Structure 1
């Protein structure tokens, strides 16, 4: 059995192997997520004591106390020569375990991430709500940081971010950027969002719309002339609308639909898919630019019509997830199996039937 290394060594091994995440779990080897697959970093499993030692080496006394009280902890750490990591510590089967996500030292450009020029255009908006959605690990935070970077490069103003925790460190550039972290700089998303309206913001960034009150204040901020960027854990544009509205009691939903139809400017739904050649992952996305027809559909909750309007809105910069998958498949970037697994309309991606012989 090899000797247990320290946490810096495991984080370094993960980064050097191109991993997005490092996982520490009891009765399993330290493991790195590389191109979506879990790869063990040792030939032995971690004991409860070893896992606890590795995790606690990254925590302050205050953080340890909070973990023991709340049983969960989100935080960020910085390792010299490696960069920043977002960490989550939690209990599983009464043992401490953890996941660490590597945050690249430089915020990439939107084009480097694979986004279309439409997303650059979203960054030019002066008011309204723009949502970046996707499952955990789909790159929402990176897209949000790239949008903030673009805004800060192209205009003057004040950008306030509300994050849990702060991940990318964003330089001021032409904008003054105030990055506020839950638990360090403010007590909650709701409180920070309310206070942000009194801090002379031009742009407000919310790392996650988690609850009814946060959504309500974000809609109000967008209504009152601010540009609000936020993320949600949804996989496509129709589901995003439903999720935002369903958070509210039935007697308030019509009012929320009216607000949403007025302030929503765009939705970016994204997924990171394995490349066909196994060399990494590639972005697939759905982009909705809210026009008059879409506003009407949202107001009347005709969610089933959104996909059709996106399909005919390509000249306005829109595309569905199936359009994105189709392009990636034709380029040979992803496999047909992956396209079939991810698509909305499977008939579009079924292989052509073999020709009949006479």
Structure 2
């Protein structure tokens, strides 16, 4: 199957699923032992739930793992059968050929091929992203706790360090174009920031935005923007097929949850080159590392650098610190976004096209790019606001340089 015939079948398959996604909310009463875990995790404001068979359930709280106790000295230690039951009950999709009778067998068989991920929602509790795997210690999964609603940009960035990014989305006439790439380590909040940007954009952009995700984490509401959300493996075979399908449709923007391969990164630039807004993420520690990494993906170095210069709009890197802070007279305790944002005006595009990355970095670090923000500048803002002192600022800068946050 190839050419126009392949395109038609792929579009028909996508139309069956990826529209405005209707994510069913599970009833917590049907979740057995896992019910107590989810309720407790919500009460403790946990960010992660770690489950391994015959071992105490642990909760990620404030970047630490705590053993969960449902009563004094009473630990939750699920066995394999209990873990399989929780996975089978919370999944929103089945594997090919799977029946209700052999759900446990199908899950084990699939895990032997590696791991798999999915997301689910529980009424009045929240939404969770789950990664299931098997290790020497046994069967288990890690569940990331997601905000039940999409936080606004003002909530994520109370100190206005992302003013340049907000400016891109607060357009009056033409909406932003080109590639906005989010970078950071696992758990640094990339998905949540992208969701906040899209929710902000939805009130302003007339057009369709296609998302390719694995799994679907946030569910977007149609406002002025119409969203079509596709889950890899359910609605679309893979990212490359999803990008090809999207580009054959009338869209204004394309969002790809995360790219890992050379082919996927190249596909992002192909979409951006056609004049669309493209937003995606990649696991790299900072903006300049990302830029130099991208430089190595092209076969024809000169042509690739020209495409990079043409397509790149911004690289947004981010880290999180947990602190007590005051905003508008109110004391809060929580995660604070520490962003780094590299924009690409004409002078920087010229440097990228020449491969002059040392010059680009000098301009970036030297505050010569309008609205650009380095990690050091973000930490200086937090110091000025009284969130951190000079000693903590220096400690955090050292940890940033060493890649420890």
User: TM exceeds 0.5?
Assistant: yes
1:76 aligns with 2:122: no
Q: Which residue of 2 aligns with 1:122?
A: 168
- Residue 341 of structure 1, CA deviation: 4.7
In structure 2, what is the Cα distance between the partners aligned to 1:95 and 1:135? 26
Q: Judging changes above 3 Å, is the alpha-carbon distance between structure 1 residues 339 and 235 closer, same or farther for their aligned structure 2 residues? A: farther
In structure 2, what is the Cα distance between the partners aligned to 1:289 and 1:233? 19
In structure 1, what is the Cα distance between the partners aligned to 2:344 and 2:399? 23
Equivalent in 196, 205, 212 of residue 255 of structure 2: 205
Structure 1 stretches of 4+ with a deviation exceeding 6 A read 344-347
Q: Greater shift after overlay, 28-37 or 338-347?
A: 338-347
Q: What is the number of residues matched between the two proteins? A: 342
In structure 1, what is the Cα distance between the partners aligned to 2:239 and 2:88? 27
Q: Greater shift after overlay, 92-101 or 27-36?
A: 27-36
Q: Judging changes above 3 Å, is the alpha-carbon distance between structure 1 residues 201 and 344 closer, same or farther for their aligned structure 2 residues? A: farther
Secondary structure, counterpart of 2:65 in structure 1: strand
Q: Which residue of 2 aligns with 1:288?
A: 342
Q: Which residue of 1 aligns with 2:187?
A: 137
Within 5 Å, give how 1:309-320 maps onto structure 2.
309-313=363-367, 316-320=370-374
- Residue 232 of structure 1, CA deviation: 1.0
- Retained in 2: the 8 A contact 1:72–1:89? yes
Q: Which residue of 1 aligns with 2:47?
A: 20
- Residue 345 of structure 1, CA deviation: 9.9
In structure 1, what is the Cα distance between the partners aligned to 2:382 and 2:336? 9
- Residue 28 of structure 1, CA deviation: 4.0
Within 5 Å, give how 1:70-109 maps onto structure 2.
70-93=113-136, 95-109=138-152
Structure 2 portions without partners, runs of 5+: 1-30, 326-331
Within 5 Å, give how 1:124-203 maps onto structure 2.
124=171, 125-203=175-253
Q: Which residue of 2 aligns with 1:223?
A: 273
Q: What is the TM-score of this pair, normalised by structure 1?
A: 0.87
1:36 aligns with 2:63: yes
In structure 2, what is the Cα distance between the partners aligned to 1:183 and 1:265? 30
- Residue 172 of structure 1, CA deviation: 0.7
Structure 1 portions without partners, runs of 5+: 348-358
Q: Which residue of 2 aligns with 1:245?
A: 295
Within 5 Å, give how 1:287-306 maps onto structure 2.
287-306=341-360
Q: State the superposition RMSD in angstroms.
A: 2.6
- Residue 139 of structure 1, CA deviation: 0.7
Q: Judging changes above 3 Å, is the alpha-carbon distance between structure 1 residues 174 and 308 closer, same or farther for their aligned structure 2 residues? A: same
Equivalent in 393, 396, 401 of residue 339 of structure 1: 393
Q: Greater shift after overlay, 152-161 or 89-98?
A: 89-98
Describe the superposition over 1:73-99 as per-residue Cα deviations: whole angstroms up to 9, x where unpaired: 110111121122111101111621111
Q: What is the TM-score of this pair, normalised by structure 2?
A: 0.77
Q: Judging changes above 3 Å, is the alpha-carbon distance between structure 1 residues 8 and 45 closer, same or farther for their aligned structure 2 residues? A: closer
- Retained in 1: the 8 A contact 2:84–2:107? no
- Residue 241 of structure 1, CA deviation: 1.1
1:270 aligns with 2:353: no
